[in-house]
Chains A and B, each alone.
Chain A
Amino acid sequence: MKSRSVTRSLALLAAVPLVLSACLGTAASPAPTAAPPSVAPAPSAGAPTPSPEVSGTVTFWNGYAADGDEIKTFTEVVLPAFAAQYPHVTVEHQEIPYDDLRQKLVTGLAGGTLPDVLRADIIWVPEFADQGALLALDEEMSDFAELTGGMFEGPVSTNKWGDHYYGLPLDTNTRVLFYNTGVFEEAGVSAAPTTIEELEAAMAKVKTALGADHYGYAEGGTGPWSILPWVWSFGGGITDEDLTAATGTLNGPGTVAAVTKLQDWLDKGYLSPSILGGGLATSEQFGNDQAAMILEGPWMPGIFKNQFPSLEYDYATVPAGPGGSASVVGGEDIVVFKATQNKEAALAFTRFMVSEEAQLAMGKIGQMPVLASLAGNAELPDYYPMFQEQLKTAKARTPVPSWPKIDEAVSNAVLKALRGETEVQAALDEAATAVDALLAGN
């Protein structure tokens, strides 16, 4: 269907030659993958007693979105509440677009102009911890165990690198199935698909009813964040449990089955070509009734409300395959840099950000809280329960410092396979070899 005739003989293995010569860290210590949220009623990680004696300035980089309510809520609700408890601490909030945050951090690391506290993508924590840039919070905070005891285990685990925890979870999320109820009605699909078979049947109906340029499902790329829910649903993955090898998993039968299935859906026109890139955003296709289903995170309803006010949709967990219903854990952790000049104030602010008060305020606008005590809170958005349900089986991406390279290797391999340039098995074999080398480099 696409001009695939032009072969790329130069298609090269993405990551093999880039193996870091430096010995990054020692043996990969397995950070536990996400576990179901603890159900035990945890003690409230609530507000510490006001400490007027703590003083100083804390800079905080966060990447909160300026186009939604995130920055507004943070500066107008959370910061004043913190100031009430710590009147002598000034928090310098710097507005940095999320996409620029990483580059800004690298520049900051290089130039010694880092913030004191950072809201970090969970996947960056092992990398920066491995660099030795972060404070081990389990050593610095005497109440660390008490604090984390009241949090969901999966998000907490993303802070572990080696033998220590380098941060606290700040917000969590995962992707669930959004389905366009208008399109479902038009295509005669009565209920959200719960299994891969039902999903395929629904996609077929959508294709028949709506035809060309309309798709059952849309995905925005071939990177792990995009494809892992399906890979896991088919029993595949990226590495083994110990994070030591990709061979046998990334090129194992489960992953091969998942990618083969995606290719099949793409060929049948069930899956939007946007997975190959260069097309419309999945949310745009969904909002324009061009795609019946997408996987999205808890920040999306707020955006849909503004962009497509008349859009009607509902949520379901990811349709289950042989490996069950699986999704990918996202979110952010809050970390403190070793270079901070004002450790006490930085830790006080960090502690406040995971307090019930701050978590609830940010939770109301799409930043899913990490506190077990807030699960089911009536003030939180009514769509959270579906995400919390999915989080029970959602898994984290491989928490290793070389993740950016692994991400690219997997993304390129799946893209080559879906484009039909390489057989699925061969593409994944190649990627597995590359990822093995990257993991050995850790």
Chain B
Amino acid sequence: MEIGRQHDPTRRRPRLLPATGALGPHRVARARRLIPIYGLLLPGMLLYGVWAAYPLISSFVLSFTDWNLVKPTSFVGLDNYTRAFGDPLFWRSLSSTLGYTVVTVAGQLALGLGAALLLNQRIPGRSVLRLIYYLPVITSWVIVSLVFLYLYNGQAGALNWFLKDVLGVIDQNVAWLAEPSTALWAIAVLGIWKGIGWTMVVFLAGLQAVPDELYEAASMDGAGTWARFRYITLPFLRATSTFLLVVLTIGGFNAFISIFVMSSAATGTIGGPLNSTDVALTYMWKQAFTEIDLGYGAALSFLLAGAIGLVSVVEFRLIRRQEAA
């Protein structure tokens, strides 16, 4: 092609172009530059279109219908959305989602930062310890959910054995996953435990950016450990923390597998006992797959997406204001 091109009259576009032809070579050059770029992006964009954009748009359309698979579907306008606002179980699932998110985000940030600070020290076996802390992150949700299911068992669980027989702080076994007052928080502990490693790694990366000279200078000026942490480490970690806060919040809102596996195995009901572990996604899942009420499920998913967007914006704003202050 490269050789033949010179002899190919149709390729000599500039001559065929009208008066503005002077721009021609630029256009050709631009096209030559862009075509490979778009060409390479195309497969990804097609995949995104088929697997993300199309389902997104079609489920948005669905959310205005009463689609329940086979029966004729009709448009019901905003009915699904108004129904959601009047659905106490949906509100309850949202508030459980919020509680779960607050607890797991705070827990992961605090413990992840702690682990990062400790494993940033020059101690023997540091790499091995980092690996061990990271292991839960790469373990399957289903597997760890099943493991925690055994730990929390009300008749034979290791947690009861530890609290009752070793520490003696409880005198009766507790069925952690069957008590409406403990079930969600027991699952949140799993969420925190599983996320510490990842948060730690991101914090460790942030800590690398802190120049050692600053610590040395501060030490010479008489700053103690706390002052060095408060006035050097924390400000340097601000961007990292913002990133983590937003990503972990979205993760909290999307909690599903652990709750699905543990609540159904422990109580026979997804979101059980007595809806106490129903979060937004499990409630949505039940609308779609248990109740076969897909229009309503779709509407709930857009309300949740809206809630996540809102919370993320609020988080960004709060942090920006803090930075400006």
Residues of A within 8 A of B (CB): 1-3, 6, 8, 10-12, 14, 17-18, 20-22, 102-103, 106, 109-110, 127, 131-133, 213, 220-221, 223, 272-274, 276-280, 285, 290, 404-405, 408, 411-412, 415-416
Contacts and interface: CB of A to CB of B under 8 A. Distances in A.
Contacts of B291: 18, 20, 404-405
A200 B288 CA distance: 43
28 contacts: A2-B172, A3-B174, A3-B181, A17-B87, A20-B291, A20-B293, A102-B290, A106-B288, A106-B292, A109-B292, A131-B69, A131-B70, A131-B71, A221-B267, A221-B268, A272-B155, A277-B177, A277-B178, A277-B266, A278-B152, A278-B177, A278-B267, A279-B154, A279-B156, A280-B153, A280-B155, A290-B155, A412-B269
Contact of B269 (A6, A280, A408): A408
B71 A12 contact: no
A11 B273 CA distance: 10
Given A8-B276, A278-B179, A415-B273, A133 B267 contact: no
Interface in B283-308: 288-294
Given A8-B180, A103-B289, A106-B289, A17 B174 contact: no
B108 to A, nearest CB: 25
A133 B69 contact: yes
Given A3-B181, A12-B88, A131-B68, 8 more contacts: A2-B174, A221-B267, A274-B154, A278-B152, A278-B154, A278-B266, A279-B153, A411-B268
Interface in B67-82: 68-71, 76, 79
Given A8-B181, A273-B154, A278-B152, A21 B66 contact: yes
- Counting from the closest, the 6 A-B pairs by CB-CB distance are A278-B178, A278-B175, A277-B178, A277-B267, A6-B181, A221-B268
Contacts of B288: 106
Contacts of B268: 220-221, 223, 277, 411
B274 A109 contact: no
Nearest to B294: A110
Nearest to A18: B291
Nearest to B273: A277
B88 A412 contact: no
Nearest to A339: B70
B70 A278 contact: no
Nearest to A221: B268
B83 interface: yes
Given A17-B88, A223-B268, A411-B268, A110 B69 contact: yes
B275 A21 contact: no
A280 B156 contact: yes
Given A21-B79, A131-B68, A277 B292 contact: no
Contact of A3 (B79, B152, B179): B179
A416 B274 contact: yes
B275 A14 contact: yes
A134 B143 CA distance: 37
A286 B180 CA distance: 27
A18 B88 CA distance: 10
Contacts of B158: none
Contacts of A3: 172, 174, 179, 181
Contacts of B86: 17
B98 to A, nearest CB: 14
Contacts of B156: 279-280
B97 to A, nearest CB: 14
A235 B70 CA distance: 38
A277 B277 CA distance: 13
A232 B196 CA distance: 51
B296 to A, nearest CB: 9
B89 interface: yes
A11 B174 contact: no
B92 interface: yes
Contacts of B153: 278-280
Nearest to A10: B92
A96 to B, nearest CB: 14
A401 to B, nearest CB: 9
A49 B215 CA distance: 90
Contacts of B76: 21
Interface string B222-235: 00000000000000
A441 to B, nearest CB: 11
A220 B175 CA distance: 13
